[in-house]
Amino acid sequence: MPPETLFQFANPLAMTGWLALALSPLAPRLANAYAGFVVPVILSVGYAALILAFWSSAEGGYDSLANVMRLFDNPHAALAGWVHFLAFDLFVGAWAARRARAEGVPHILVLPCLGLIFWFGPIGFLLFLVLRAGLSLRAPKPTEA
């Protein structure tokens, strides 16, 4: 299967997960099961398959920046890297949505965090941590869900 085909399958799949998180106040448990478990698991299986099948044919490695860049010269390895982003970013997004709900962070504040986690993973993660820290200065927080 050409890597482009798999790419065109993985991207919309991850998008459905992000959509579920954006709408998660409607059905929090369902949205979290889908975005925090089902989609990351499917993407992780895809990642594992790509690594099993193509790791040995990829040049480069993890030991230097030059080697990491060479790794991404291989389309299948690059696709695996992309699927890794998709899976783990969504997982972090689902975690943020879950924590926000448990700690009473308004969904309107979670949305920009989710957007940033989606586009620039770690930046959205940082924003969420900061918002959460700020809001924890409010009145006593509700118990964990």
* Burial of residue 136 (number of CB atoms within 10 Å: 0-12, 13-18, 19+): exposed
* Burial of residue 69 (number of CB atoms within 10 Å: 0-12, 13-18, 19+): exposed
Residues 145, 129: Cα–Cα separation, whole Å: 18
Residues 69-88 that bind another protein (CB under 8 A): 76
Q: Which of 20, 50, 71, 92 binds another protein (CB under 8 A)?
A: 50
Does the footprint of another protein cover residue 130 (CB under 8 A)? no
For another protein, give the closer residue by CB, 14 or 113. 14
- Taking CB under 8 A as the binding criterion, the range among 31-39, 54-62, 89-97, 129-137 that sits at the site for another protein is 54-62
Q: Which residues bind another protein (CB under 8 A)?
A: 1, 6, 45-46, 48-50, 52-56, 76
